[in-house]
Each structure stands twice: as structure tokens, then as C-alpha cells.
Structure 1
Amino acid sequence: MDTTTAWTEVSQIWKENRHELVLSGAKVSQRIAENGLDKNIFHLQGLNYLNISHTSLETIPQDLSRLENLTTLVLHSNMISNIPEEIKALSKLKVIDCSRNRLKDIPQELSNFPQLMTVNLGSNLLKHLPCQRMNIKLAALDLSNNQFEVFPDVCYAELVHLAEIRVNGNRIKEIPGAIKVLPSLKLLDLADNCITDVPGDLADCVKLKDLNLKGNQLHDKRLHKLVDQCRTKQILDYVRQHGVKSESSAGQSGKSKKDKKGRKNSESEHLINDIEAVTHQLTVFRVSDDSRVVKILENVKSVRPHIVCCIVRNLNFTEENFKKFIQLQTKLHEGICEKRNAATLATHDLDLIVPGDLTYTAKPPKELKIKPLNRSKTYSAAALFQQLQTEADNLRREKKRNVYSGIHRYLYLIEGKPSFPCLLDASDQVISLPPITNSEITKMSTNTKNMLVEVTSSTSQQICRNVMDQFLKDLLPIGIATPQSNEQTLQQYHKLEIEQVKGVDIEGNMKLVYPSRTDLVFDDKVITVVRE
């Protein structure tokens, strides 16, 4: 290894004999664009974790094969067009994440990785995946948002650990009957494909608890309604009775099961009529003339263009449910927000915001001023970034590891950008600097009665809506509104009052509103949405 030419991050790994290397963000991207990836990386044969993300990297060097001890390879959010066949040398791989690239093909070599547990190839241009029969430890497969027309070749009884399959956002036309042989399948996301019929074999997936078929053109209108409004169990009960099974499954049900099947069929006939028998409730109030709006300026569209907001009123926090409220936001950032890569959620005490309209814009880091959450003084965004970077480096040295923690993990999302997105109140105070922090001046507390919620994204408007939907859904069981009582069931349930917020351009023309009629459509039978 040539320590005189090696990048600083690579030299540190070499000198300290560490096993994890993370290269991410604008500065790394610029170095790759100018001189290519540092080849000294491939002398670090002790590496077991390599993360190169959010860069201009277009090709994976063949020298990758020298890193034979890698167990985790993360290459998401780059510009990679192909994976070299030399990857076959990495026989210890357990995790591969090449999502959000430009992949068109996957080498056949990816069909034989005996230790491989997680494969994420979402958001690429893929039409085919090599047979996964030999990858006997495979547990999670994500092929979402690609161009598959045929279900991936994974329906084998040998795949005893395969629990999650995400193929939403493709062009898949059929669900193979052989899917029933997967003994551990718990989650199957087939949303937004071209599926018209659901085979009865799907109901034989005995552990399937989370099934998403939304956004398909199902011929069976009754099933279509169940998919939009019911839980997985009710959907599978219906499919079991009405879905067509493959020939290998036909005739296996004897007369002894006739009565049981008859009962289930009767249950499914009544299911549509029972959909409204729900507990938790979201009441949506329309935009009025005096409602707040968010002005979305042109200059933010090149930085972080997507935003949705809404207002939640009449909250009733306690110390206990406030902790759950904070934990929920952390959970969503780690999950559906993909560690803030896909979107960022922010909440504000509405009554602490200056009355008037909000403005979503972008400002140069030196001009943007904010009093960050849990800090006592006001910083420019540039100074705040530097402060957080220094804190992160000190913490990393103290703990002797190569990864950041807490809010410091997200600094690379704005690093090197000429302007930062921000949300301003009517007096031009910055109340939010996504995806990093909110302002202390609108901080939520147990005294908060009314809340403004914002979700922003650099990816898409739909992701913002999906995150907001999930947040409002998960808020209900926490019990932050005054509980109600169901006299028939003697159960306690919760209601939330949601007020629409619309986004407008600089001239006042409406560009979006949340929640719209197409938002807050749940497959959960314990929630109903009332639109006033």
C-alpha cells in the first residue's frame, strides 16, 4: 500500500488496523470524479465492512475481489451501471446494498453466495435476477422500483430463511403459484405492478403477515376493495376461497373441509359490510380561507424540492406518551425514511410559530441563520455544519471507530451544497433545516396542544406522502389525543384531528394539498378516515 498517495480515510484504516471503511458525500464524490477511486482501498484485506455511497462512482473496480473478508458491501446512491463478475471472490458476503444506482444487469455469479442474507438492489433499471436457489441463507430481498416483468426466481423450498420480498414498483404481471413453497415468507410487497389476478396458492404461505397489493389493476373488484381497506388475514382468507390454484394444488381439499370452507366463504361475503366497524379514527378538515399555507419557492427545487405539511390539533401529551412520540420519529427515520436518505420528518409546536404563511426556500450556508434544537445560541448553517463535523470527529476518535452516530450521521446529505433547504415562518425565522435539525424556538414539549408536521425529500413527492401517512397512522395507538370509548365493545380508541395544509407557488397558485383524497388510505381494519 502506498501511504503517500492514499486518501486520509484509507490511511487511517491501514495504520489503526480497523475493519470498517465509510466513504460518502460531496467531497468524496469530487475526488472520485477527478481521479477515480483510491486503489489503495483494495490493499485493506482486513476490511469486513465497506460503504461507498452518495458519490459519482460509475464502476466497481475488479480489484474488489481482493477484499475476501468483506461481509457487508454497501454501494447505494451512486451511478454504478454494472457489478463485475469478480464479485464471486467475496464468498463471505452477508449483505449487499447496491440500491439507487443505474444497474441494468446482475452477473450470474450472484447466484451462489452461501452466506448471503440481505440483498438490496432497489431503484435501479433491472429486468432480471439470477436464480437464488443456492443462496440458502437469503432472508431479505429488495428489488423495488426496477423494471421486472416476471417475478424473481426465488420460489424454492431450500430458501428456508427468506422472510421478506419487496418487488413493488415494477411491471410484474403474475404471482407464481410456487410462492407457496417459501416456508418463512412474512412480508411480500407487490404494490404498483401490473397484476390482475391473485392465485389461491398465496394463501398457503402460512407465515405471511404483511401483504401489499395496492396499485395493481385487479380484475376482482371485491378483492380490490379488500386490498385497499383490510388486513392481510382478511385478504388471504378471500384469496383462499376465490383465487385459482395451480394444478399441483387442485383437488387437495377433501369433502371433510367443505363446511370449514363454506364458513370462510360466508365470512368473506360479509367482510365488505364490516369494513366500517373500526376503532381508531382520523378526522380530516379541509383547507379554509384562514388556513396556513406553505409558499414553495423556485430556488429550493434544485436542492430538496419536495415537501408536504399538515396540522394535528387538540393533543394531550403526558410524559409517557411523549417519549413514545419521540421514539416513533426515530423509528421512522431509520425505517421508511431510509436513515433520512429518502425523506425527513419534522414536528413543531404550532402555537410557537409566528402567525402567518410559511415559506419553503433555500439559502447559502453563510446566510442561513438558525437556533438549532437543544442549543442555546444561533448559528449560521455553515458554522453549525462545522461545529457538528468537529463534534463528530472528536466522538469518533474517542470511541475509536470509523462511523458517525446520532445526528452527525446525516451531515453528508448537505455537505458541499451551495445552498441549504429551510422552512421559514412569517417573520423569516428559520424553523427547520432539513434533513439536519429543527429550530429550538418551535420545539415540541408535553405542553404542546397543536402540531405542525413537515416531511421533505429530495427524491419524490410520493415518498413525502407515504412517510406522513405512516406517521399519522402510528400516532393513533400512542394515545396523544383525548381517548374515546366504544360503547358496544367497551374498548378505548383514539381520534386525531388533521387539518389540511396546501402548498402554493410564489403567485399563490395551489401546487399540492395534504392530506388529499388519495392519502391516508390504510389496509388496517382498526382505522377509519372521516373527511369533513
Structure 2
Amino acid sequence: MNSSTDIWSEVDQVKKEKRHELVLSGAEISKKIKTCGLDNNIFSLDNLNFLNINQTCLKIVPDEIGMLENLTTLVLHSNAISTLPKTISNLKKLKVLDCSRNALDSLPQELSLLPQLTTINFGSNLLTELPCQLQNTKLISVDLSNNKFQTFPDVCYAELIHLMEINLKGNEIKELPSSISVLLSLKHLNLSDNCITVVPGELAYCQKLKELDLKGNNLTDKRLYKLVDQCKTKQVLDYVRQHCPTTTINSSNDGKGTKKGKRTQKNSESDATKQIIDNLTHKLRILRTTDSTPVIKILDPVKSIRPHIVACVVRNLTFNEDNFKTFIRLQTKLHEGICEKRNLATLATHDLDLIPPGDLTYTAIPPKQLKLKPLGRNKLYTAANLFEQLKTEADNLRREKKRNVYSGIHKYLYLIEGKPQFPCLLDSSNQVISLPPITNSDITKMSVNTKNMFVEVTNGTSQQTCRHIMDTFLKELVTLGIGLPQCNDSEEQTLFYDLQIEQVKVVDVEGNLKHVYPSRNDFNIEDKSVTVIRD
């Protein structure tokens, strides 16, 4: 601070004219501060209620700032200030404090003792926390944008009944507290460009919230992510109210958090919002069978061996090199997991366009009579010869690798060993296209060029198990992005896909319907990111 008795001309003019405002800005003021510090005569201006020092090299705010007890507005933006003095608590009439665009990395606790404070702006500093604002009950606006906050600032108190605006854009905040619901006057909340992954349902309890910005966060709920990017605040809050988790019960918000309140919220959601939410999901679109859809006929020989089969057709697939590899890995994952290493069930996929038109037959044939061209092999085998070939390969591989167990397809051979008949699926020309639980035919091999797929799941104990595994496979298929991309008006890559699933009927030897998949009892999916649409 300048200890000289020389008074700056700007300060002298305010003193002589008994003005209430002083503005010090620009290169000339910066030069004076650099030469001899801030003029201490400023702090003798008892009538001053507006002080603005901006765009200077000021680094330190003197303790004497506390002498300006009539200040109502203190603007110190665009300087080089690194700390504020504790004496700021003496400014009991202060309403507006703007210290944006400085180098502040902390704030004095005394900042919480300004009873008339309505507006604080500490945007574009280096702050990581804000002193508790519980006692600053007249607070209306808080701007802490572009700082280093990792947690939400300490402003969530019911006592802050006037707080209308919070700007936290460009921080590192990871979590939005459920206690935000107590800010009943909140109208504007900017949380863009942070690190938030989950939005609490309590946010919807802020009934006056008109502008909400959550863009630039890594939200795990992809429908919410899309809504935030494309829709208005009301639609986002409708979704938050309906679908985001809550951790508290807010009894002061007209029944919200109670069963009655939830019914009221649901009934009040607009049709337009529902439509938007529905659009921002993956779709499992169930299509009825057509004249060209294959029908599976079950013959008696298979009933005592592996009697259960469900199947469907998946239309309009869009494979590329990457997602086709994902598709193959998915089948392996399901066989090892939900199919219990094929002991429980086996899932097989075929390129439908490589299956001759007509109906299919599910039966069982003695292994010496059953002939097929196995997947990945270029000649025809009997099932008996194939079994022996695979067993020899497995033994050789085990010795070569010095292992005690089989790997790959070889580890499933025991499932059919010694059986008098092997289950199989025949096409309309009686070619074997599937030998569960071991292999498919190379004739119907899936590829990156496949557009339409025939899927079958077989099992020896329960049709319901087959249905459950098929449900799981198709749901995971669409969430992995292997369906038809949904239309997207923006230039961004779509996040949602449409899987078109055509029903397949299974009939007995006389042509009587046994079952159809998918039926209305299938796809009871709790995952809200997937919507089932029935034709």
C-alpha cells in the first residue's frame, strides 16, 4: 500500500466531490500500483459505497479494506489477487462482491459473516472450496465457474430462501448432492463441463428451476445424456423425476417422495416428454411372422434327447469389423456364463440369407448317418467322424500345450459322447445347419456382411431357459450397438440402436403350434435403456 501522502487524482476527485463511487481501472492505475502500491487515501473515503478496481496488477487487498464500512458493492475483477483479508467481515453492508478472474486459491472463513450479501462472483480463479454460506441468508446469486471445485460448494441450506442462481460451469465436481432439494427458490443451475456421472432424483424437487445445464458431464444414463444435449430443462427434469434414484424423502414438496406424490408426478408428465424419453432408448422391435419366415417342425426322435428349442429372425443388421468381433465375443461370453459352459443351453447364429427358403426340421439322427460341413472346415463329415476327429485334435493339442484340460470347441465333446443320436437342425433340403451343443454348419456361417440372422437356442430341460437366454442375447446385442442405428438429427454418433426381431413358430409333426418366440410374455426387461415395441 502507498504510504505516501500524495493522493491519486482519481481518489482526490471523489473526496472533494463527496462522491459515493470510485472506479480504478486500466494500465495507468496498474502502473501506479506497481510503482508505489494502492493509495491508502482510498480507505478514508467514509461515504464510499461502490468501489471498483479492475484490470490492474493488484495482488494484495490491504487489511484496511475493512474500514470502508459503508461499501455495498466491491468489484475487484480481472486483477492478480491471490488472497482476501479477514477484515472483509467488517463490510456488514456489502451486497455485491465480484472477485472474478484473479488468482485466488482460498477464501477467508469470514466471508460467511456478511449478512447483507446477495451476490458473490469468484469465477475464473483457483478455488477448491467455499466457506459455509449458512448465515448469508440474503444470498441470491453464486458464481464459482471455472475453478477447481471437486465437491459441490457449501450452499445447500433451507435457510437460503432467496438463492436463485448457481453457476459452477467448468469445475471438477463429481457428485450433485441430494440436499440440493432444499433450495426451493433455485431457478438457474449451471453444472456444465464437470465430472458428474449420476444425477439425484432430488434435483426435480427444485420446483422453480427453469434453466438447468448439465452438458459436458460423463452421465452414465445415456438417455439422460441425450436429453441434456437436445432438450429443454422441463423435459430433463421430467426424466430426472421419473428415472433418477433418490436417497432422501422430501416431505415438504407436495408429496414428492411418497407413493401419492410419485403417482401425481407420473400423471403430470406430458405426452411430448414421454415421446422424447422413449426415443432416447434402444429398441427391440418385435415383428410378426411372414410367409417367408421359416417355421421349425419338431420330430419325435429329438424329444428324448434335447427337446426344447426357441428361435427368431433378426433383420437389418449393420456389422463392421469392430462390432462383429464384439458379436463373436458376446456369444462366447454367454456360453461360458448364462449357458453354463453349454451344459444348460447352446445358442447358435446363422446367416439367414444362406439358408434355403422353406421350413426347418429339428430332430435327432444317429451319428454315423448325420452329415454336415462343420464351421471352419471345408469338407463333409459324419457326426461320428467329426467327433473322433475333434477328440484326436483335442488330445494332440493337450499334449502339445502340456495341459490337463481341453480348450475351445473340444471342451464340449463330452456333452454328446456315447449318445445314440445327436440333435440337429435341418434346412428345407435336409442339410444339417446346426449340431447342438457342438457346432454350426459352415454353409450358414455368419460374417461381417450378414444382414439378416437366424438365431436358435436349444436345451434339454426347459423351454423357459431357452427364452431367458434368447432375451439376454438380444438385449445385449442391441446395447452393444449391433442393431440398426436410430435416426439422429445432430452430427454426433448415435447412442441408440433398433433391433428388428421377427417371430419364429415351432410346430409339432402334425403342424400344430407349440409355441412362438418372442411372445408377449418375453422381454420383461427392467433395463430402462431398452424399450420393447410390439407390432
Give the TM-score normalised by structure 1.
0.50
CA displacement, residues 305-360 of structure 1 (integer Å, 9 cap, x when unaligned): 00001000111110011001101101111111111111100000000001100000
1:519 is aligned to 522
2:500 is aligned to 497
Residue range with higher mean Cα deviation, 412-421 or 401-410:
401-410
CA displacement, residues 242-288 of structure 1 (integer Å, 9 cap, x when unaligned): xxxxxxxxxxxxxxx64599654446753686685651111111123
2:286 is aligned to 284
Does structure 2 conserve the Cα–Cα contact (< 8 Å) formed by 1:278 and 1:527?
no
Corresponding letter in the other structure for 1:528? T
Partner Cα distance (1:344, 1:235) in 2: 37
Residue range with higher mean Cα deviation, 520-529 or 425-434:
520-529
Compared CA separation, residues 270 and 417, structure 1 to 2 (3 A): farther
Within a 5 Å distance, the mapping from 1:432-471 to structure 2 comes to: 432-471=434-473
1:236, CA displacement in angstroms? Answer: 7.5
Partner Cα distance (1:511, 1:449) in 2: 28
Within a 5 Å distance, the mapping from 1:472-511 to structure 2 comes to: 472-485=474-487, 492-511=495-514
Compared CA separation, residues 484 and 321, structure 1 to 2 (3 A): same
How many correspondences in the alignment? Answer: 287
Partner Cα distance (2:479, 2:421) in 1: 39
Corresponding letter in the other structure for 2:297? K
CA displacement, residues 196-236 of structure 1 (integer Å, 9 cap, x when unaligned): xxxxxxxxxxxxxxxxxxxxxxxxxxxxxxxxxx9xx9698
Does structure 2 conserve the Cα–Cα contact (< 8 Å) formed by 1:306 and 1:461?
yes
2:359 is aligned to 357
1:412, CA displacement in angstroms? Answer: 0.8
Corresponding letter in the other structure for 1:377? K
Does structure 1 conserve the Cα–Cα contact (< 8 Å) formed by 2:297 and 2:361?
yes
Partner Cα distance (1:260, 1:335) in 2: 46
2:422 is aligned to 420
Does structure 1 conserve the Cα–Cα contact (< 8 Å) formed by 2:292 and 2:357?
no
Q: Does 1:304 align with 2:306?
A: yes
Partner Cα distance (1:487, 1:517) in 2: 32
CA displacement, residues 20-57 of structure 1 (integer Å, 9 cap, x when unaligned): xxxxxxxxxxxxxxxxxxxxxxxxxxxxxxxxxxxxxx
Compared CA separation, residues 392 and 277, structure 1 to 2 (3 A): same
CA displacement, residues 85-121 of structure 1 (integer Å, 9 cap, x when unaligned): xxxxxxxxxxxxxxxxxxxxxxxxxxxxxxxxxxxxx
Does structure 1 conserve the Cα–Cα contact (< 8 Å) formed by 2:374 and 2:442?
yes
Structure 2 residue corresponding to 1:331, chosen from 330, 333, 336 = 333
Partner Cα distance (2:278, 2:320) in 1: 30
2:49 is aligned to none
Q: Does 1:270 align with 2:273?
A: no
Runs in 1 of length 4+ with deviation above 4 angstroms?
Answer: 233-238, 257-263, 266-269, 271-278, 486-491
CA displacement, residues 416-468 of structure 1 (integer Å, 9 cap, x when unaligned): 10000000000000000000000000000011111000000012100100010
Does structure 1 conserve the Cα–Cα contact (< 8 Å) formed by 2:280 and 2:496?
no
1:399, CA displacement in angstroms? Answer: 2.1
Partner Cα distance (1:310, 1:472) in 2: 10
Compared CA separation, residues 350 and 508, structure 1 to 2 (3 A): same
SS in 2 for 1:325: helix
1:397, CA displacement in angstroms? Answer: 1.6
Partner Cα distance (2:340, 2:481) in 1: 26
Structure 2 residue corresponding to 1:530, chosen from 520, 528, 533 = 533
Corresponding letter in the other structure for 2:479? P
SS in 2 for 1:421: strand
Residue range with higher mean Cα deviation, 284-293 or 350-359:
284-293
Corresponding letter in the other structure for 2:453? M
Partner Cα distance (1:525, 1:297) in 2: 40
Gaps spanning 5+ residues in structure 1: where? 1-229, 242-256
CA displacement, residues 359-385 of structure 1 (integer Å, 9 cap, x when unaligned): 000000000001000011111001111
Partner Cα distance (2:530, 2:383) in 1: 41
Corresponding letter in the other structure for 2:513? M
Partner Cα distance (2:282, 2:523) in 1: 13
1:322 is aligned to 324
Partner Cα distance (2:289, 2:499) in 1: 16
Within a 5 Å distance, the mapping from 1:139-218 to structure 2 comes to: none
Does structure 1 conserve the Cα–Cα contact (< 8 Å) formed by 2:367 and 2:422?
yes
Partner Cα distance (1:347, 1:518) in 2: 23
Residue range with higher mean Cα deviation, 394-403 or 262-271:
262-271
Q: Does 1:431 align with 2:444?
A: no
Partner Cα distance (2:309, 2:280) in 1: 31
CA displacement, residues 468-520 of structure 1 (integer Å, 9 cap, x when unaligned): 00011001122223311356998531101111000001111000100000011
Partner Cα distance (2:279, 2:319) in 1: 27
1:393, CA displacement in angstroms? Answer: 1.1
CA displacement, residues 57-79 of structure 1 (integer Å, 9 cap, x when unaligned): xxxxxxxxxxxxxxxxxxxxxxx
Compared CA separation, residues 289 and 355, structure 1 to 2 (3 A): closer
Structure 1 residue corresponding to 2:379, chosen from 360, 365, 377 = 377
Corresponding letter in the other structure for 2:344? A
1:401, CA displacement in angstroms? Answer: 2.4
Does structure 2 conserve the Cα–Cα contact (< 8 Å) formed by 1:234 and 1:268?
no
Once the two structures are aligned, what percentage of the paired residues are identical? 64
Compared CA separation, residues 342 and 236, structure 1 to 2 (3 A): farther
SS in 2 for 1:512: strand
Does structure 2 conserve the Cα–Cα contact (< 8 Å) formed by 1:343 and 1:456?
yes
If asked which structure has higher relative contact order (CA below 8 Å, sep 6+), I would say 1
Corresponding letter in the other structure for 2:401? K
Does structure 1 conserve the Cα–Cα contact (< 8 Å) formed by 2:282 and 2:498?
yes
Partner Cα distance (2:327, 2:507) in 1: 30
Does structure 1 conserve the Cα–Cα contact (< 8 Å) formed by 2:251 and 2:257?
no
1:408 is aligned to 410
Partner Cα distance (1:446, 1:497) in 2: 18
Corresponding letter in the other structure for 2:309? I
Corresponding letter in the other structure for 2:393? E
2:395 is aligned to 393
Partner Cα distance (2:392, 2:265) in 1: 62
Corresponding letter in the other structure for 2:511? G
CA displacement, residues 177-207 of structure 1 (integer Å, 9 cap, x when unaligned): xxxxxxxxxxxxxxxxxxxxxxxxxxxxxxx
Partner Cα distance (2:393, 2:456) in 1: 27
Structure 2 residue corresponding to 1:348, chosen from 343, 347, 350 = 350
Give the TM-score normalised by structure 2.
0.50
Greater radius of gyration (CA): 2
